[in-house]
Amino acid sequence: MPKRILLDTDPGIDDSLAILLALASPELSLEGISVVHGNCSLEQATINGLSVLELAHAEHIPLAVGCELPLVQPSLLAPETHGNTGLGYANLPEPRIKPVSQHGSDFLIEKILSSPGEMTLVAVGPLTNVALAIRKEPRIVGALNELVIMGGAIRHEGNTTPLAEFNTFVDPHAAHIVYHAGIPTTLVPLDVSYQCVLLASDVERLLKIESPIPQFIKAATDFYMEYHDSYQGIKGCVINDPLALALTFAPELCEYQSLPVDVDISGGVSTGKTFADFYNYEKKPANMKVALGVRPRDFIELFLKRMEKLSLTAFKLS
Ligand code: RIB
Ligand code: CA
């Protein structure tokens, strides 16, 4: 039986790769997408999510529009990282399909409560939708099978402030609610995702397949690689969100430690910083499993093989 997953996302270049990986993985049944502000505006992220579903001939997947702003912080988007459209240089056709009418947080609540114990939620954007869903309907805490979060930086430097990772910095209050809700949670921080670098040669390999999907990946990641090179001197681009998605069906790609993890909401210079109490000074129980080791090239190879397979399928359908 495929693992039933929901994806909360701010597409976003690496988010779009996570959507494609979910659609390319027979171990998973992607049962819905909720969109959140983050890499680009909610409106643009919604268009991007719908366009990527159409690109992969997955128009049947329901997509719900969630929160436009963080719970408390002012809006922070990432055009320097993902481009003004949120998909770099890619230029997908205006989507024909429309979102469902429910708010993203209500969509998550309905999907989770309709199948208690069966849904895994993968959250790869700011946690505003997830936090709102928990506050609106606390029963989802006991009904969710698992929550996998891409976010945070434990021993790794920040990618948005010197200390904080983007998803947690954009909405630290939402992260605080979610981290302490009591849901069985796996955190996939920059400590592992920054080791997962997609190279230009990897994209060239995909382009050997005559299909719209490699062409999309090339146009989107060209922009993303320029950002990584100019801002961080990285030759390639880190694909954070597909790594988090992959751990739902290939957890062996990482090593984990169960730890008490928290996020700073004190409003000072370290706002949004995630930290783990490795020596349990605070005598608190672990609230999540944290991925701290990874086999990067094994993950990249898995990603490339799945994109090759999806590209061939999409080519036949187009
Ligand atoms: O810090 C990386 C995370 O922030 C990724 O999910 C990326 O898509 C952005 O949302
Ligand atoms: Ca994201």
Average of pLDDT values for 84-108? Answer: 98
- pLDDT at site 19: 98
Q: What is the mean pLDDT of residues 72-97?
A: 97
Substitution site in 191, 240, 243, 245 for ligand 1 pocket (most atoms within 8 Å of beta carbon): 240
Number of H helices, E strands in the chain: 13, 12
- Which residue's C-alpha comes closest to atom 1 of ligand 1? 166
Residue 211 CA to residue 13 CA, distance in Å, equals 18
Q: Is the CB of 128 under 6 A from ligand 1?
A: no
Average pLDDT on 285-304 reads 98
As a dihedral over the C-alpha atoms of residue 122, residue 124, residue 127, residue 129, rounded to 10 degrees, the angle is: -70
Tell me the pLDDT band of 318, cut-offs 50, 70 and 90: low
Give residue 241 CA to ligand 1 midpoint distance, Å: 7
Mean per-residue pLDDT over the chain, rounded: 97
Residue showing tokens 């945070």: 152
Cα angle, residue 147 at apex, residues 19 and 275 outer, rounded to 5°: 110
Distance 40 CA to ligand 2 centre (A): 10
Task: Name the helix (H) or strand (E) containing 23.
Answer: helix 13-23
The answer, yes or no, to whether residue 50 has pLDDT greater than 70, is yes
163-181 tens-digit pLDDT: 999 999 999 999 999 999 9
The alpha carbon of 317 and the centre of ligand 1 are apart by a number of angstroms equal to: 31
Per-residue model confidence (pLDDT) at position 163: 98
Q: Is the pLDDT of residue 315 over 90?
A: no
Residue 238 CA to ligand 1 center (angstroms) comes to 10
Looking at residue 309, what is its pLDDT?
Answer: 96
The residue type found at 299 is F
Distance CA 36, CA 295 (A): 29
Q: What is the pLDDT of residues 105-164, one digit of tens each?
A: 999 999 999 999 999 999 999 999 999 999 999 999 999 999 999 999 999 999 999 999
60 C-alpha vs ligand 2 centroid, how far in Å? 22
Structural domains of the chain sorted by starting position, each given as residue range(s) with its CATH number in brackets: 3-317 (3.90.245.10)
Residue 165 near ligand 1, beta carbon < 6 Å: yes
Ligand 1 atom nearest to CA at 10:
10
Would the pLDDT of 83 be above 90? yes
Q: Is 169 in the pocket of ligand 1 (CB under 6 A)?
A: no
Per-residue pLDDT, 124: 99
Q: 168, 152 in Cβ contact below 8 A?
A: yes
166, 171, 193: residue to mutate for ligand 1 pocket, most atoms within 8 A of CB: 166
Residue 314's pLDDT band, with cuts at 50, 70 and 90, is confident
Nearest atom in ligand 1 to the alpha carbon of residue 126 is 10
pLDDT, average across residues 188-208? 98
Is the pLDDT confidence value at 259 over 80? Answer: yes
Give residue 215's pLDDT.
97
What pLDDT does residue 316 have? 67
Would you state the pLDDT for residue 152?
Answer: 98
- Which residues sit with Cβ closer than 5 angstroms to ligand 2, an ion? 10, 12, 15, 124-125, 241
pLDDT mean over 248-276? 98
**Contact 37/167 with Cβ under 8 angstroms?**
no
Look at residue 247 in the predicted model and tell me its pLDDT: 98
- How much is the average pLDDT of 214-223? 98
